[in-house]
Structure 1
């Protein structure tokens, strides 16, 4: 507090009264007079309240030295903007958020700025030349929360501001003098905060049923507290569960908040966490002119202000989609995911949707672009995905597959299973991570003549017959997402359903009999096993390619390879073929 009073006295353009000091600093008049007496007694100001040489040395010692800006994350709630630009570079009043923060730091003499980047990191590179910042690359931005980002910058915590890249401050929140550490709160009561700032700046935990003050994300850390926080960050290297937390977790020690709280008015800042928040702050922002939003505007004939409750859906294996509302209706906008252009022929997908558009058992598509894959569809209300462990639901899914396979629908393209295996393998571009891949592939290749000899008539197949693509809504069952669909043997869809559901052999057999109403012959059953092996290898290669792009599918990828390995053995054994792939 002494340093802040010195700062105000040093920078006064005119005489400043004790009452004005009290108002600026948010303390009582009596407290101001007490502090002024202390400053005089310590030789920091003279009798005329002028700051002495000793006082200026105190000011210099309490001058913030640096800042750490955390800018690594995806910003998934910013859909659809986050597919094009990282959050820190979104523009408000034609100024990128992060540039405004950097300029505000410069105004108080803070020029050493470290920016932790990750998602779309290359977009921040220009800041090095324009503002002299240092970029710190977080390669695990998609795995950990900002605790890991701060740990990468822990050597710069001393006398440093810590702040997120996505907050817009109406007035400059930084100061030339900071004499103690603090964390910035707003007196907006929220459910996701357990802390409340007390009148004298202390921070107390609220009870389970109470709301806390909103945590803004900005903090100042002096040298004393930096040592403690830096030590805690080192501990995260041995307790990596902490890396999945926000860095503010470190501010609670022994059930107490270790920093003082400082308050900013709720209208003094805006956190830009969503398209709607950016729109409400700056309706003319260039980043609101987004291709996906334009499609929605033109298709539904609405203005951006009429698009409500935008939120990202669960990140899919192929696409990144978002949900929104207009009036009483709900919609899904699909934005093709990373590497999708290599995997999917969007013109073939367009042909399929044109072929089935008059059915009542697939999603209602309002817009589909055959060039870039953008798709706008009506959201199916009161719905849920098929539970692959529910026999009654699985029965209905197989009934719908039979209905599809017995339809008259035809398209001009065929899904060539073995050609696709080679194609995904080529996309992968490197040696497989599986040591016995070549042996397993040769076994799968040996199944090809058996499959082709016993293949049935070519019909329109979904190919991506994932239980998640079967949607139950009231008395209606839908089959959605026809990206991979093409002409094929209908038995391939049974195999696909089984391996997506990651069934064991008994459940695979049950599924086959469910589709065939307990009348499946042995040859057909073995052929479906062969499809399971080939499709497992297909999706295994698909997973390896996607992993090369930084995406990971957990147990799913290994499970697909196991299907290729184990079911190729089963079918070759049935055929009396040697299992040694060299023969």
Structure 2
């Protein structure tokens, strides 16, 4: 860190600055500050301008500052912010307001105040929400297509050419700085740091007397930790970016933060991983930028934000939070212990606590109103309520699809390979099928296949090379099933292991009835088998578990045919979702293979 730069910068900003204030800016003792001032005077960088004690920056000082001028800022804003659900279901974390001002806008404004105008924001999740900033602040947006599956190492990788050869701030969109800590000139690379009393799980810094960081360790007691923005000098990026680029190509680094690369460079781990890369060897300079208490804020979750800005205790401007408060007749401040649950393929949901009990709020995903009839789903829940086999519904809106249900503490999803559990699950399915309950709507496999095929073609194409032939096979199966005239009963259609809850008391609950309707009951055996990725042998066992006997030829054909049709249908569903930007990996191929494989097994039955 070039301390003379800090002195010259400070005098440029405030010629009347005192040595005590210089000591604070340099984070050194008053005596050290006095010696540094004398050094700058002897090198003709500054001079005393008169009896009043004001300093004057000399031409040599101005020349020194030129190479340390800040060229711009990179703001990381690609992530989801799972610890801020449900707010971040609607709005990226960096666009949340603190005391009436959006966090990212506060940082942009602070950068502008010191003359930093060249600002690039790396976006991903809800990227369109940031578009207005282009017009309002003349910023640039850079899209990171890997934002949902990788961490900030990838974000910096995508923005590496913006950083290369420049002096750049690297900020997080969701930080909040009480005071403007930015400058037009910086003396070298640094990382903002806050002091954490007691035990912490933050990334702790070890540094020498001059503030140069020597090592980073995760967790410690009474430590200065990485907290807030960073600054990449040209020299830092020249050394750092080649190592980060190499790390990007290494398997197993997908969830690395960019700080993981820096930490490995300090510890020598990067040299071990990349023995042939010159930049991975030797030192890399970055300094601690120790900040005063209560200046930099990294809000870890919604509870922290609530404590800081009491607006969020009363009114968060979030539809889901307002709904929960209304349903339970409580202020939003009494909705606590909020956390994101694993997102389903069609919905988002979060866990919360009200009045000492936990609940789940389900929010339908975008576009699902086209795919799922929520009024029909509600009708099913209403009909089966008396059976006691579903989750306990507190609230269901058949128009919006919002659902609030009790959460079962200690419950686990069923394990499809645990046959004791599967016997209990199939008993629940049998009870449903034998209940005699009916609804007015059916699940029509032919109609659903035609529907998804049309969606796929309207949003691109169907990529399977032999789709026409396989579609003909499926038509053949549906015609045969129609001719069999099998009875229809109320069926679940989505009875995968994740939708069976195994309760602590031994009970079982079947949840998520979005596709339920009148259908051949053996469709639930078929769907359970393909969702569980069952082999032929496991499928045969499941049929026997459900029937509690050996199947007839027609029953076996019906299960096989529905497995083929289900695989075909869900492969089309996945193709359509992929056209909207949602990717489900190998699921599409697995389902399409089920369509082919079990068609052939049906053909063998004859």
Is the TM-score greater than 0.5?
A: yes
TM-superposed deviation, 1:351 = 0.6
Is residue 205–residue 217 contact of structure 2 (8 Å, CA) maintained in 1?
no
- Tell me which residue corresponds to 1:59: 65
Question: What are the ranges of 5 or more consecutive residues in structure 1 without an aligned counterpart?
Answer: 576-583
The yes-or-no answer on 1:255 pairing with 2:255 is no
Of residues 182, 186, 199, the one that matches 1:174 is 182
2:203 to 187, 193, 206: 193
1:210 maps to 2:237:
no
Name the stretch that deviates more: 186-195 or 348-357.
186-195
Alignment-derived partner of residue 170 in structure 2? 162
1:307 to 323, 335, 352: 335
CA positional deviation for 1:293? 0.6
* Other-structure match for 1:421: 449
**Counterpart of 1:523 in 2: which secondary structure?**
helix
- Report deviation, 1:539: 0.8
SS at match of 1:244: coil
Structure 2 residue aligned with 1:37: 38
In structure 2, distance between residues paired with 1:294 and 1:537: 40
Unpaired runs of 5+ in structure 2?
50-54, 269-283
RMSD of aligned residue pairs (Cα, Å): 2.1
Q: Which residue of structure 2 lines up, in the alignment, with residue 456 of structure 1?
A: 486
- TM-score of the aligned structures, taking structure 1 as reference length: 0.94
TM-score by length of 2: 0.90
C-alpha separation between the residues in 2 aligned to 1:206 and 1:67? 24
CA contact (8 A) 1:447 1:572 kept: no
Aligned counterpart, 1:26: 27
Q: What's 1:86 paired with?
A: 92
Matched, 1:440 2:442: no
After superposition, the Cα gap between the structure-2 partners of 1:410 and 1:152, relative to the gap in structure 1 and judged at 3 Å, is same
2:192 maps to 1:184: yes
1:354 to 375, 382, 394: 382
Task: Note if contact 2:215-2:266 (Cα within 8 Å) is conserved in structure 1.
Answer: no
2:301 is matched with 274
Q: Which moved more, 1:62-71 or 1:119-128?
A: 119-128
- Residue 175 of structure 1 deviates from its aligned partner by 1.9
8 Å Cα contact 2:193/2:227 also seen in 1: yes
1:87-143, CA deviations, whole angstroms, 9 ceiling, x for partnerless residues?
A: 222112221111110110011111111111122222212222221111112222223
Q: Is the 8 A contact 2:77 2:121 kept in 1?
A: yes
Structure 1 CA distance for aligned equivalents of residues 168 and 218 of structure 2: 32
The match for 2:531 is 500
Equivalence for 1:522:
553
Partner of 1:579: none
CA distance in 2, matches of 1:412, 1:198: 75
Deviations 1:236-258 (A, max 9, x none): 45436445321112322140674
Contact 1:306 1:326 in 2 (8 A): yes
Supply the distance in 1 between the matched residues of 2:209 and 2:331 (Cα, whole angstroms): 45
Cα offset for 1:308?
1.2
Q: 1:299 to 1:510 in 2, by over 3 A?
A: same
**Is the Cα contact below 8 Å between 2:167 and 2:231 reproduced in 1?**
yes
Please say if residues 166 and 273 of structure 1, whose CA atoms lie closer than 8 Å, have aligned partners that are also in contact: no
Name the residue aligned to 1:511: 542
Q: Helix, strand or coil: the match of 2:369?
A: helix
Residue in 2 that maps onto 1:264 = 291
> Out of 7, 10, 14, which is 1:8 matched to?
10
Aligned residue for 2:278?
A: none
2:563 aligned residue (528, 532, 542): 532
Moved more, 65-74 or 204-213: 204-213
Matched, 1:125 2:131: yes
Q: How many residues align?
A: 574
